[in-house]
Chain A
Amino acid sequence: MATADDAELLKRLLSGEQQAFRELVSTYQSAMKAVAYAIVGNRHADEAVQDAWLSVVRNLSGFEGRSSLKTWLLTITANSAKNRYKQNRREVLLDDLPSPHGTIDPERFSSDGHWLLAPFAWHQDTPEALLTEDELRECLEQTLLSLPQLQSSVLVLRERQGLELEEICNLLELSLSNVRVLVHRARLKVFATVEHFEETGEC
């Protein structure tokens, strides 16, 4: 359902207020980009987002508020991306590229499944404290970019954008089990990166 804020912003958009468009684009473009990236890849993601924005403008008066504005925008983006170009995603999905700092791989465990190398205790215990370090922030951004296409998009949509797993499945036309695998693989790689940073102070 659309929120009161959504309705207010919509009214300003319909009256053609420039600042309202600025707010719309700065609030939602990165989520839209993550959706487009998952469907058409890096080369066409920006174009798909631009297509989506024009489509949003043309359909603004038809937005009925049955979903949130965000869900509506992401659905339009997914459709624009699919119209533009659909890759063979089967290969992409099964592709699991190594990450700069690896992952929590089987070598971390002994043959009976116990930790051989236990998780290193991080120095910080709140997200705010972790993020005070510029280098770690940059390192996280780099790691997100280094992940395979779908892993990166799914993690960004889940964590950074706070979408439910079911929403991600619907937008990207993936099964729930595939989305769960993608989120998990991506999280373990980001975990390994933060662990490496906390241990060495370097990305």
Chain B
Amino acid sequence: MLSCKQQVARSSDYLDGQLSFRERLLVRHHLLFCPNCRRFIKQMRLMSAALRKLPEPLPTDLEQTVERMMREQSR
């Protein structure tokens, strides 16, 4: 059985689908019995989703860049 520390060390690989079948089973087995680690994984997923949805500001140099590109195109 994995310890919590070992589960945390494998968490990104678990979320990214990088674990072998056997390692994935070990993590699942640990999560089944450990509410703290279930919370940890749930919040890791939540954090990833939040980063994915973090709004991106428009580039500050947008207009200059567009101008430069159009000039280059008409050369």
Contacts and interface: CB of A to CB of B under 8 A. Distances in A.
Interface of A: 16, 18, 21-22, 25-26, 29-30, 46, 50, 53-54, 56-58, 60, 104, 106, 109, 112-115, 118-119, 121-122, 124-128, 130-131, 137, 140-141, 155, 158-160, 162, 165, 176, 180, 183-184, 187-188, 190-191, 194-195
Contacts of B20: none
Contact of A128 (B5, B43, B53, B74): B53
Contacts of A176: 18
Given A106-B5, A190-B51, 15 more contacts: A16-B73, A29-B65, A30-B59, A53-B65, A57-B73, A60-B73, A109-B3, A119-B43, A122-B43, A124-B46, A125-B46, A131-B50, A137-B54, A160-B54, A187-B48
B58 to A, nearest CB: 5
Q: Of residues A21, A30, A106, A190, which shows the largest number of chain B Cβ atoms within 10 Å of its Cβ?
A: A21
Interface in B26-45: 36-37, 39-40, 42-44
Most B CB within 10 A of own CB, among A56, A158, A162: A158
Given A26-B58, A125-B46, A118 B39 contact: yes
A193 to B, nearest CB: 9
| A-side interface mostly | helix
13 contacts: A21-B69, A30-B59, A57-B69, A60-B73, A115-B36, A126-B46, A159-B51, A159-B52, A160-B51, A184-B12, A184-B13, A187-B48, A195-B43
A121 B53 contact: no
Interface in B1-29: 3-6, 8-9, 11-13, 16, 18
Shortest Cβ-Cβ A-B pairs, 3 listed? A113-B3, A184-B12, A159-B51
Interface of B: 3-6, 8-9, 11-13, 16, 18, 36-37, 39-40, 42-44, 46-56, 58-59, 61-62, 65-66, 68-70, 72-74
A46 B49 CA distance: 27
Nearest to A165: B16
Best-buried of B9, B13, B43, B58 by chain A (most CB within 10 Å): B43
A131 B5 CA distance: 29
A25 B50 contact: no
B69 A180 contact: no
Nearest to A121: B39
Given A25-B66, A54-B69, A187-B12, A137 B59 contact: no
